[in-house]
Amino acid sequence: MTSPVLSTAEHSRSRATQLVPMRSTARSLRQNHVLEALPDEVWQRLSPFLVLVPLAAGDVLQAAGIGRENVYFPTQAVISMQYAMKNGDALEVARIGYESVCGISLLMGGETASCRSIVQHRGYAFRIGTTVLKREFDRGGAVNHILLRCAQSLLCQVAQTSLCNRHHRVEQQLSRWLLLSLDRVPGNEVGVTHEWIANALGVRRESVTQALVKLRETGCIETGRNRITVLDRAALEAQSCECYGAINLEYARLAPKRHGVDNPLRTHESAE
């Protein structure tokens, strides 16, 4: 899938698309945490190859077993990493937003993606050629260090998600899933269908509906057509299991530094 390219001029005046100027070295304007953490000299080498592209919900960025020419650094989009079986059933093992990078496995020596990456929440991402980024990765230094930490954080999320899916109730899994989604999108609303959640959690759609009813009765969410609005985040966290906190703690430990300070996952600053 090749996404259309937006020039900087096309979106620089719109609040909805106030993203990173392509050749800017101002760190405060970088909305992806990985790009923001890069030293200026590395940013200057990579920025000519970075292209800001819009991603629509349902876009498949990578397919399992297939090599891809590009790696994506999301700024507003949320990407679901899924493993699928021969019968078509799929399970989400991790999600990626502005805090990380989609396609990191392509830099680790494998020439194909290990799973399917599909856009769950529309938005924007910086696209860069895999060859260009791999060349910088192989130099060692900052890019190598930062992306290896991203990979470790991603592995933690995969492991914790597997544990959660096996041992916790559906409403706990759903609460964890909603919180991880909420961390990666602006506002308090998650656009999603019951069917998508069921596929992500690997449960029946009826189980998702029942879990949503229970969460709605606690007053922490309200539901509408293809959307879930979080009314009380603290209450939703109370309904979740330990897995959400474990994923966030590991990310906070491994996250690249922004302006020399720690970078909690839930801190999603908009560049205005």
* Per-residue pLDDT reduced to its tens digit, 185-208: 888 999 999 999 998 999 999 999
Query: Is pLDDT at 9 greater than 50 in this prediction?
Result: no
Query: Region 91-109: what's the mean pLDDT?
Result: 89
Query: Is pLDDT at 5 greater than 70 in this prediction?
Result: no
- Architecture of the domain made up of 169-240: Orthogonal Bundle (1.10)
Say how many Å lie between the first and final Cα of the chain, rounded. Answer: 30
Q: Structural domain boundaries of the chain?
A: 8-164, 169-240
Determine the pLDDT at residue 159: 94
Range with lowest mean pLDDT among 70-79, 104-113, 161-170, 254-263: 254-263
Q: Report how far residue 24's alpha carbon sits from residue 27's, in angstroms, rounded to the nearest whole number.
A: 8
Query: Region 99-110: what's the mean pLDDT?
Result: 85
Query: Region 9-21: what's the mean pLDDT?
Result: 34
Query: Is pLDDT at 110 greater than 80 in this prediction?
Result: no
Query: Is pLDDT at 22 greater than 60 in this prediction?
Result: no
What residue type is assigned to position 183 of the chain?
A: D
Which CATH superfamily, name and number, covers 8-164?
A: Jelly Rolls (2.60.120.10)
Query: Region 50-68: what's the mean pLDDT?
Result: 87
pLDDT-based confidence at residue 67 (cuts at 50, 70, 90): low
What is the helix (H) or strand (E) element at residue 125, kind and residue range? strand 123-129
Q: Report how far residue 39's alpha carbon sits from residue 260's, in angstroms, rounded to the nearest whole number.
A: 12
Query: Region 220-234: what's the mean pLDDT?
Result: 95
**Both tokens assigned to 112:** 């194909």
State the CB neighbour count (10 A cutoff) for residue 195. 10
Residue indicated by tokens 């996952």: 265
Radius of gyration, alpha carbons of the chain: 18
Cβ distance 215 to 171 under 8 Å? yes
78-84 sheet: strands from edge to edge: 60-62, 116-121, 78-84, 90-96
For all residues of the chain together, what is the average pLDDT? 82
Q: Residue 141: CB partners within 8 Å, gap ≥ 6?
A: 42
Do the two domains 8-164 and 169-240 of this chain adopt the same fold? Answer: no
Q: What is the DSSP string of 126-143?
A: EEEEHHHHHHHHHT-HHH
Determine the pLDDT at residue 173: 96
Determine the pLDDT at residue 115: 86
Query: Is pLDDT at 29 greater than 60 in this prediction?
Result: no
Q: Report how far residue 213's alpha carbon sits from residue 169's, in angstroms, rounded to the nearest whole number.
A: 14
Determine the pLDDT at residue 64: 77
Give which of 114, 115, 120 is closest to 97, Cα–Cα.
120
Range with lowest mean pLDDT among 33-42, 181-190, 250-259, 260-269: 260-269
200 by Cβ neighbours in 10 Å (0-12 / 13-18 / 19+) ranks as buried
Query: Is pLDDT at 265 greater than 70 in this prediction?
Result: no
Determine the pLDDT at residue 261: 40
